[in-house]
Amino acid sequence: MKTKQTCPVIADPDNVSPLSEHLVWMVEKCTACGICQKECAFLRKYGQPKEIAQSYDPNLDSGMAFECSLCKLCTEVCPFKLDPAAMFLEMRRDAVRQGKGDFPQHRAIRNYEKQGFSSLFSYYGLPHGCDTVFFPGCGLPGTRPDKVIKLFTHLQKSIPALGIVLDCCTKPSHDLGDQIFFKTMFFELKNYLLEKGVTKIIVACPNCYKVFRQYGGELTVTTAYEALLQTDLPATGLISGTVTVHDPCAIRFEESIHDAARDLLSRKGLQVEEMKHHRRQTICCGEGGSVGFLAPELSQEWSGIRKIEADGRTTLTYCSGCANYLNPVTPTFHLLDLFFEPEATITGKAKVSRSPFTYLNRLKLKRYFRKHLDPAISRERPKNLDTRPSKGSLLKRIAIIILLIGAIIGARAANLEQYLDQDKLRQLIQGYGALGPLVFMGLYAITPCLFLPGLPFTIAAGILFGPFWGVVYAICGATMGATLAFLLGRYAGRDWVKQKLSGPRWKQLDQEVEKHGWKVVAFTRLIPLFPYNLLNFAFGLTGVKLLHYIVASFIFMLPACIAYILLSSSLLEALKGRISPAFIVGLLAVIMVSSIPFFYNRYKKKKDNKS
């Protein structure tokens, strides 16, 4: 039997070692035998671990590692037990250190994580003599709050001083390579618990398990499933039937947890038929490593395999993330669904909440524990821990407020209040003849190149020029701006733009334009999948024809332009309390165009799940 080859630089899990050492290790040890590549679509896309390590260029390939699910199936099947996932994680960390690991597509998962450790959602309740806490994670409290309460109450029977910690283990940041932030947040949590005498954590989420196991130090961690086996199971009755099991990849090497899940199912009366990939050889559900945000096709490859292997059987898992991700693809439920709602689960009707209700559930759960637990010590997570710059949003907000205050003071000082009258404003602009619209369009045209938002100009067009001419001038200004940025991207700033757009999503845009041409321009004007200003430059690097780009931009930016101008052309009147029919129509139009991305995402998700 081959022994596990642990790269010396990753023997210490806390070590943030130079990427170069990982690369050298992989080049030396990997024989490029192809075994792991057969199992993994990511490796089939980018090459064998040895080849990737040999040719890795951090300037060009920094986005590539974010497409690996970090699932470690490669390690399990490797004859030498090499660990390519550790190398890819280090590439992610290196990209973050170089300032190249920040993808707008990850904003959703980062915000989700941020809610988890916010003072609003977090809660620690430690009764007298508490040395053990239940840590349900983020997913389970949101989707299955009633089951968290039932599980806690059940465990409390054998651990009367059981405490509760509603918080986030910060694994998303860990996996996205933001090691400094991860450690700041996790070690604060860990040190607080140790300081308060807690020595044991019971987790429900395999990802939390992995984090506590790797970084928890003196804290011992066990899963709720192992803990359940030590109790008389909840008296919810036996059930018969055959199910299959999806083992979460985060605990691939934890055989005692795989056993516990199967023991629980068998004690419930169910037969387990294994899928091809199970236990140590399990596969990712598709959600691992946040891959779906950058490479949805790779993520769907994993869930597609699960669908084939499940072959219509009900799948049970013990990770709420896996259950939620797989359920639309193949009927998948959480072990806790089965324990607390057996009949509904086996007939596919278990109660599972979806976003945005998940946030409400977490607040309700916090209120429940506040009301029903009598803690000796309690807290919410301190507010000042997240010191990361908030992408300028706070600065932008402050700047806008200062500008607004300045504008009001300036208007009063100059006795311009009279011009806040819509009709007078329009008369004033008309007084300048053709110069007014020309200056307006000129200013609008330079906003994309200065990375300024165009929306304030669109709104101003409605106020200054009215609904008809407002649309004409705004769409002309916006199209001129988009064209200017396109030309700069194509002819002047190619190197700078290339460097900015090295991520896989931008490469995908290039491929899509090659296949579908101007239709991609039309589509991205309707559905803002990319940051607007950067997108204009990016199109300059693609092969789309200039004329096609201008026409598609003009036509497909029109709907949003019309909606906002309808609204803003009667905005000043509305602010004075005079709501006109045009304002209501404009408001509805804005809601409609703003909903297009939402409905598109739902449609795409449904379509992806069907295929």
Angle at 280 between CA 605 and CA 285, to 5 degrees: 5
Do residues 315 and 285 touch, judged by C-beta distance below 8 A? no
Angle at 258 between CA 205 and CA 331, to 5 degrees: 70
The secondary structure element, H or E, covering residue 42 is: helix 41-46
* Nearest-approach distance from CB 32 to ligand SF4, in angstroms: 5
- By CB under 6 A, the residues from 293 to 322 that bind ligand SF4 are none
Write out the two tokens for 209.
């398990």
Q: How far apart are CA 56 and CA 91, in angstroms?
A: 9
Write out the two tokens for 260.
């516990």
Binding ligand SF4 (rule: CB under 6 A), the pick from 23, 25, 62, 69 is 69
Binding ligand SF4 (rule: CB under 6 A), the pick from 68, 224, 474, 541 is 68
Site string for ligand SF4, 453-492 (x = CB under 6 A): ----------------------------------------
The nearer residue to ligand SF4, 89 or 261, going by C-beta atoms, is: 89
Q: Considering the rule CB under 6 A, would residue 48 count as an interface residue with ligand SF4?
A: yes
Q: How far apart are CA 304 and CA 285, in angstroms?
A: 9
The nearer residue to ligand SF4, 45 or 548, going by C-beta atoms, is: 45
The nearer residue to ligand SF4, 72 or 277, going by C-beta atoms, is: 72
Nearest to 338 by CA among 237, 203, 223: 237
Q: Give the number of other CB atoms < 10 A from CB of residue 312.
A: 9
Write out the two tokens for 114.
């941020």
The nearer residue to ligand SF4, 284 or 310, going by C-beta atoms, is: 284
The nearer residue to ligand SF4, 254 or 341, going by C-beta atoms, is: 254
* Nearest-approach distance from CB 212 to ligand SF4, in angstroms: 21
Please count the residues of this chain forming the interface with ligand SF4, following the rule CB under 6 A: 26
The nearer residue to ligand SF4, 31 or 347, going by C-beta atoms, is: 31
Backbone conformation region of residue 60, classed left if phi is above 0, alpha if psi is from -120 to 50, else beta: alpha
* Nearest-approach distance from CB 69 to ligand SF4, in angstroms: 4
Q: Considering the rule CB under 6 A, would residue 42 count as an interface residue with ligand SF4?
A: yes
Q: Considering the rule CB under 6 A, would residue 429 count as an interface residue with ligand SF4?
A: no
Bond preceding residue 356 cis, omega within 30 of 0: yes
Q: Considering the rule CB under 6 A, would residue 74 count as an interface residue with ligand SF4?
A: yes
Q: Considering the rule CB under 6 A, would residue 285 count as an interface residue with ligand SF4?
A: no
Q: How far is CA 187 from CA 131, 164, 383, in A?
A: 18, 18, 15
* Nearest-approach distance from CB 285 to ligand SF4, in angstroms: 12
Nearest to 205 by CA among 165, 146, 248: 248
Q: Considering the rule CB under 6 A, would residue 260 count as an interface residue with ligand SF4?
A: no
Write out the two tokens for 318.
């013990």
* Nearest-approach distance from CB 211 to ligand SF4, in angstroms: 17
Q: Considering the rule CB under 6 A, would residue 64 count as an interface residue with ligand SF4?
A: no
* Nearest-approach distance from CB 98 to ligand SF4, in angstroms: 21
Q: How far apart are CA 133 and CA 189, in angstroms?
A: 12
The nearer residue to ligand SF4, 40 or 164, going by C-beta atoms, is: 40
Q: Give the number of other CB atoms < 10 A from CB of residue 310.
A: 21
Q: Considering the rule CB under 6 A, would residue 72 count as an interface residue with ligand SF4?
A: yes
Do residues 242 and 274 touch, judged by C-beta distance below 8 A? no
Site string for ligand SF4, 17-36 (x = CB under 6 A): -------------xxxxxxx
Bond preceding residue 141 cis, omega within 30 of 0: no
Q: CA quadruple 181, 182, 184, 188: dihedral positive or negative?
A: positive
Site string for ligand SF4, 560-599 (x = CB under 6 A): ----------------------------------------
Q: How far is CA 506 from CA 60, 126, 502, 530, 541, in A?
A: 12, 48, 7, 9, 10
The nearer residue to ligand SF4, 69 or 324, going by C-beta atoms, is: 69
Contact window for ligand SF4 (CB under 6 A) among 56-64, 77-85, 261-269, 533-541: 77-85
Do residues 252 and 72 touch, judged by C-beta distance below 8 A? yes
Binding ligand SF4 (rule: CB under 6 A), the pick from 7, 19, 53, 85 is 85
Angle at 321 between CA 601 and CA 194, to 5 degrees: 135
* Nearest-approach distance from CB 116 to ligand SF4, in angstroms: 24
Binding ligand SF4 (rule: CB under 6 A), the pick from 19, 23, 43, 350 is 43
* Nearest-approach distance from CB 83 to ligand SF4, in angstroms: 8
* Nearest-approach distance from CB 589 to ligand SF4, in angstroms: 44
The nearer residue to ligand SF4, 79 or 382, going by C-beta atoms, is: 79
* Nearest-approach distance from CB 51 to ligand SF4, in angstroms: 9
Q: Considering the rule CB under 6 A, would residue 78 count as an interface residue with ligand SF4?
A: yes
> Which SS3 state, helix, strand or coil, does residue 55 take?
helix
* Nearest-approach distance from CB 334 to ligand SF4, in angstroms: 23
Angle at 70 between CA 65 and CA 75, to 5 degrees: 110
Angle at 455 between CA 454 and CA 460, to 5 degrees: 105
* Nearest-approach distance from CB 43 to ligand SF4, in angstroms: 5
Residue 271, beta-bridge partner list: 242
Binding ligand SF4 (rule: CB under 6 A), the pick from 7, 49, 212, 318 is 49
Q: How far apart are CA 447 and CA 474, in angstroms?
A: 12
Residue 221, beta-bridge partner list: 201
Binding ligand SF4 (rule: CB under 6 A), the pick from 63, 84, 163, 540 is 84
Q: Considering the rule CB under 6 A, would residue 368 count as an interface residue with ligand SF4?
A: no
Q: How far apart are CA 587 and CA 390, in angstroms?
A: 30
Number of DSSP helices (H) and strands (E) in the chain, helices first:
31, 10
Contact window for ligand SF4 (CB under 6 A) among 46-54, 172-180, 233-241, 601-609: 46-54
Q: Considering the rule CB under 6 A, would residue 46 count as an interface residue with ligand SF4?
A: no
The nearer residue to ligand SF4, 88 or 212, going by C-beta atoms, is: 88
* Nearest-approach distance from CB 46 to ligand SF4, in angstroms: 9
Do residues 598 and 528 touch, judged by C-beta distance below 8 A? no
Point out which residues bind ligand SF4 (CB under 6 A).
Answer: 30-36, 40, 42-43, 48-50, 68-74, 78, 80, 82, 84-85, 88
